[in-house]
Structure 1
Amino acid sequence: MKADNPATKLFSATGLYSNIHRATFDYFCSGAHQTTGLPFDRLTAEGKPINDIVSISGVGFGLMAVLVGAEQGWLSREQALERASLMVRLLSSVERFHGALPHFIHAQTLEILPFGRRDDGADLVETTLFLQGLICAREYFATDIAAEVDFRALAEPFVQGVEWSWFTRRKPGPLYWHWSPNHHWARNVPITGWNEALVTYVLAAGSEKHAIKPESYHDGWARSGEMVNGNSYLGTVLPLGEPFGGPLFLSQYSFCGLNPFELRDRYCDYRQQVIAHARINHDYCKAQFGSEAPWGMSACDGPKGYRAFSPTVDGGVIAPTAALSSFAYLPDEAEDALNSFASHQSGALIGKFGFIDAFSPVTGWAARTHLATNQGPIVAMMENHRTGLLWRLFMQAPEVQRGLDRLGFEQAA
């Protein structure tokens, strides 16, 4: 990093990468609710709660974050276990629907908060992203120490309790995203690929008591092969998904735990998928904003609210999470983005917990927020790039291995 880069002074102790990693981690530690330890869905750039909402996926990312904190020495193992145990114990009192958790809860009261119209019950993908973090924590706290044994006992009802096969509406076909005790299947959203929910099908197939049939994956998720793309965008062939790949979180959420570098099935080699998606996103941004400009489009706050930005939904908005969560995919390009974000307008993108959620290099607009669902993948994927910690933990879990095997995945040695 050049000596005249403002980030040199701001993050001079152990380097920019380490300090951004730690600052982003701290969203889930000092930025969490003081009593419950649950991470807020949103904070201001100054680190203040915007509301009392907690997303269930944010809790999953929070569990991953405390493991990273313990691994990096930012928390002791005992502190990490205490925080994880508190979060999971509190969620044990939240109503579940056929084993699945809702999208939003209140940070203090744990009351269910409707995510939207007709969405006041189960959210299967949110539940999965929570389980991804929980399974990593269960695998991490694996000793015979009493407190770790107790944590694993807290985790098991969540892991074993989701009635995955029920969410196919008890018939062959895809899993469904939402179910409400008041509106039942009114949302009517099948979970079909390619999107962020690959891990949902892996855990559903690996369940001991409520496993889905492989047909749900092949005919539902893969749409009998229709999720295959195979076209070239900006000189890069994209194996799966929508044109230009869509927002980058689609190739990041599931792979905070699943290691794409070890996976392939009849549809693609997932190493190729995630690298191609990131490459297309990178190249598109460079073509639009200039070779020296920052890059990365994903779901984030925009000038008119939260939106999923991508090359086909281009609002001129860059989300730092897109590039930083791609360190394992495009390390050189991600490092360039890291330095670019830090030096942008003399540090204007730096908030209390790392970088602000999004900005526009075209108009000068900048969000004054941090979001759990964007902070979490940064912490997880920067750690996977550093040590592979979360990939090792998740991939060794028996339900993950069972699910991959049942769905016909081949794993690299």
Structure 2
Amino acid sequence: MKFVKIICISFMLLSVKSFSQDYVFFNDSPSNSFYDPSWGTVSGSSLLELINTNKFPVESAIKYSGTNSLRLKYTSKTGGDWAIAVAGIDWPGRDATTKDSIIFLAYTTSLIASADLPVIYLEDLNNKQTPKQKLSDYVSSVPENEWFKISVPISIFQSNPGQADLKIIKTIFYGQNTADTIQHIFYLDEIRMSSGSVTPPAVPQNVAAKGYYKHIELSWTLNTDTTLQGYRIYKLENGNYVTIGTTQKDERFYNDFIGATGVSASYKVAAIDGSLNESALSLEVTAETKQMNDDEWLTMLQESTFRFFWDYAHPVSGLIRERTGSKNTVTIGGSGFGVMALLTGIERGFVTRQQGRGRVLKIVNFLETKAERFHGAWPHWLNGETGKVIPFGTYDDGGDLVETSFMLQGLLAARKYFDQNSAEEDSIRSVITRLWEETEFDWYRRTSSSNFLYWHWSPNYAWQMNMQLAGWNETMIVYLLGIASPKHSVPASLYANGWASHSSYKNGKYFYGYKLDVGWDYGGPLFFAHYSFLGFDPRNKKDAYTNYFVNNKNHTLIQREYAKANPKGMPGYNQLTWGFTASDDPFGYSVHEPFNDNGTISPTAALSSMPYTPTESIMTFKNFYNTYGSKIWGIYGFKDAFNLKENWYASSYLAIDQGPIIVMVENYRSQLLWNNFMKNAEIDSALKKIGFVADPTETESESEVPKEFALMQNYPNPFNPSTVISWQLAVGCKVTLKIYDVLGNEVAVLVNEEKQPGSYKVVFNLQQTTSNKQMGSGVS
């Protein structure tokens, strides 16, 4: 339980200071072990805890905000010395003369006299230091078991800078003061240089709370104060409001993952500025976690995921940032997914049609008038403010036909969705048509005799990348659009002679009982089954090689079976925990699939396959939430990945992983994106040229009888006298649960009624039914 006490010490400077953004030296460490931009040293008989030889230790259990704090553990002795420095990410030099104060939050669990606090001093980029200053000069007393704010005026260093250049300060040092020979532990958080505003921000308005199955979501209206730093969330516990978390200034949501259903909780929210001044608390709001039906589950998933494409979109262009933390870097392919997410948000009522079309119009206008294009194709990355290319690699600084095709897939769906006769919707359709017609697929054929389309072209390096597009992979949509292009089409023969020409395209083998007509052994990463099929509807049709709905369904089921078989013995894998695709992992970013399996599960893999495997995907969705939700569920839905082998949980969200979730869930629910994309006449014409024919074989309804079940703890015989049988339903249906003996005789009917989606338990007492029989079980 954390309480906050502010020790107010005011220092007025005669000069007027800039109220620009704070210089942050620490607010969170990417590692929960040590903070990399730090350096510590200890000598003589004094003691100082260091990690990885000379790094500042990190503490995740006690923090003021975010995910962790710094742990300063020291013992000061005569004849010894210690010092530890903290810097900003990448060790930049900062102009301290533009700020008023060094401020930070501190916490200790044991009594310490103010006189025994460390000293503080600064070091510049040339490793020149200021004289040391005693923290005790600015802290009269040290409270126990509560966070308190310490503010040190920069004027003391200006009046006596020593040899340091205050315009290029690199680090803030803490060091030994009095030699009291006692071990002390301080936790430090939110270390920064700030301009000394003393006026707190406005109280957050329109605070609301909404209960879901195991979490409560808070929302509020964003504060417009220019000095706003973020928001602090308080929860009522044992009659007192205590801090449970913080958010960034542009985040208007917070999730409290309670972990149980039927629990009520009350909250208040405060706003914080850059000087850590805090507003008064908001009005109290209360909500309760609750049972939910399948529609509510899916809407929860889509609405949370939608926020990445609405709230986190670039404010200037409306395009979608590549990932959390990307700032001005926007992704063209992920923005194409985002356009389809916007259509979903309108249809589901997350935003109004007017709001949604206004955002789409902003996007398409930016794409036409500001975004750089190379023979009609956009680059992989753009600057979301200027529209200039951001190179994806040394030679990748020009057009990216694959990313462009992902964008056009979304734009063509939007062209048909916005069908009203209004100035805005007329403009959307007109701009999209021009962008579509100006994409020079024929240029990316490279030569008139080539059977392939090429991924990249650069104005500086031409065809240096030299990457032919050939399957099986995620780029099928490029050939569909290239053949469909109204003004720059390529021959339909490229589909067979280029895209599907490699010997590895066809497969024909069975894996865990499921046949793959095309693709890698075991199918490869699941984004192969998603990216080209967000708009293109693979149902009820086939080409010369396969029915792609069936192939994608089997690919998905093979991955699930692989997780059940778990040949590498990875922790956590089972029929409810599976899904391998390209995503972040503990070691960076990788393309995960059975041949490259390091224990990383990516929620987007199973969830985006929902149109192919609705029962399996929905059950896995609920398992991810119920089992790992406290780690991987956030304000934008599921975080990118997790790895139980490495005890690692991503904090990131990626556009190309979030997009397929909301879009493919909607294609499962209403076929919205499939229907609108396929309304474009050019697509139907292209499919006929390629040779697609009708094939309705994949639309058989799924049986309500479980394909598999397990009765744990009761085998081998004898049957336990009292047994708890549990099961989970992804969809509502009639459930019959019967007990048989080994001869097939019915012993008891435990359940025979309609059940809503959810988790259930029933107790069977053998002694009340029969005596010491050899038991079996039957479920229907």
Residue equivalent to 1:393: 676
Structure-to-structure mapping, 1:14-413, within 5 angstroms = 15-43=296-324, 49-92=325-368, 93-170=370-447, 171-223=449-501, 226-288=504-566, 289-291=572-574, 293-345=576-628, 347-412=630-695
2: CA distance, partners of 1:86 / 1:221: 34
1:402 deviation in Å? 1.7
1:225 deviation in Å? 5.9
Q: Which moved more, 1:403-412 or 1:306-315?
A: 403-412
- CA displacement 1:287-342 (0-9 Å, x = unmatched): 22443551100010011111110011111100000011011111111011111111
Q: Which moved more, 1:61-70 or 1:141-150?
A: 141-150
2: CA distance, partners of 1:11 / 1:83: 34
Structure richer in strand, relative to its length: 2
1:37 deviation in Å? 2.0
- CA displacement 1:141-166 (0-9 Å, x = unmatched): 12222211111111112111111122
1:53 deviation in Å? 1.0
User: Residue 380 of structure 1 aligns to a residue in which SS?
Assistant: helix
**Residue pair 1:218, 1:225 contacting (<8 A) in 2 also:** no
Letter of the structure 2 residue corresponding to residue 51 of structure 1: K
User: Residue 65 of structure 1 aligns to a residue in which SS?
Assistant: helix
- CA displacement 1:137-195 (0-9 Å, x = unmatched): 00101222221111111111211111112211122311000111111111111110111
Residue equivalent to 1:6: 259
Letter of the structure 2 residue corresponding to residue 187 of structure 1: M
2: CA distance, partners of 1:204 / 1:335: 35
User: Residue 237 of structure 1 aligns to a residue in which SS?
Assistant: strand
2: CA distance, partners of 1:265 / 1:217: 10
1:358 deviation in Å? 0.3
1:82 deviation in Å? 0.3
**Residue pair 2:417, 2:676 contacting (<8 A) in 1 also:** yes
2: CA distance, partners of 1:3 / 1:30: 24
Letter of the structure 2 residue corresponding to residue 319 of structure 1: S
- CA displacement 1:10-44 (0-9 Å, x = unmatched): 6767732211111001110011123332211101x
1:282 deviation in Å? 1.2
Change (3 A) 1:178 1:339: same
Structure richer in helix, relative to its length: 1
**Residue pair 1:7, 1:347 contacting (<8 A) in 2 also:** no
2: CA distance, partners of 1:404 / 1:339: 37
User: Residue 232 of structure 1 aligns to a residue in which SS?
Assistant: strand
User: Residue 643 of structure 2 aligns to a residue in which SS?
Assistant: coil
User: Residue 493 of structure 2 aligns to a residue in which SS?
Assistant: helix
Change (3 A) 1:208 1:281: same
User: Normalization by structure 1: what TM-score?
Assistant: 0.94
Change (3 A) 1:221 1:34: same
2: CA distance, partners of 1:88 / 1:12: 41
Change (3 A) 1:134 1:12: farther
**Residue pair 1:11, 1:19 contacting (<8 A) in 2 also:** no
**Residue pair 2:382, 2:390 contacting (<8 A) in 1 also:** yes
**Residue pair 1:7, 1:16 contacting (<8 A) in 2 also:** no
1:116 deviation in Å? 0.7
1:265 deviation in Å? 0.6
2: CA distance, partners of 1:20 / 1:10: 16
2: CA distance, partners of 1:411 / 1:87: 36
2: CA distance, partners of 1:376 / 1:11: 27
2: CA distance, partners of 1:158 / 1:282: 40
User: Residue 28 of structure 1 aligns to a residue in which SS?
Assistant: helix
Q: Which moved more, 1:102-111 or 1:184-193?
A: 102-111
Letter of the structure 1 residue corresponding to residue 319 of structure 2: L
1:80 deviation in Å? 0.9
1:344 deviation in Å? 2.4
**Residue pair 2:319, 2:331 contacting (<8 A) in 1 also:** no
Tell me, which stretches of 5 or more residues in structure 1 are unaligned? 44-48
**Residue pair 1:38, 1:54 contacting (<8 A) in 2 also:** yes
1: CA distance, partners of 2:623 / 2:465: 41
| Bigger Rg, which one | 2
1: CA distance, partners of 2:504 / 2:436: 31
User: Normalization by structure 2: what TM-score?
Assistant: 0.51
1:199 deviation in Å? 1.1
2: CA distance, partners of 1:244 / 1:126: 26
- CA displacement 1:21-79 (0-9 Å, x = unmatched): 11001110011123332211101xxxxx3432101011101110110011111111111
> Greater relative contact order: 1 or 2 (C-alpha under 8 angstroms, separation 6 or more)?
1
Q: Which moved more, 1:168-177 or 1:340-349?
A: 340-349
Aligned length: 408
**Residue pair 2:632, 2:651 contacting (<8 A) in 1 also:** no
Change (3 A) 1:25 1:54: same
User: Residue 453 of structure 2 aligns to a residue in which SS?
Assistant: coil
Tell me, which stretches of 5 or more residues in structure 2 are unaligned? 1-211, 216-257, 262-287, 567-571, 697-780
1: CA distance, partners of 2:435 / 2:683: 15
1: CA distance, partners of 2:638 / 2:296: 15
Residue equivalent to 1:46: none
The percent of aligned pairs where both chains have the same amino acid is 38
**Residue pair 2:314, 2:330 contacting (<8 A) in 1 also:** no
1: CA distance, partners of 2:290 / 2:397: 43
Change (3 A) 1:12 1:183: farther
Q: Which moved more, 1:378-387 or 1:222-231?
A: 222-231
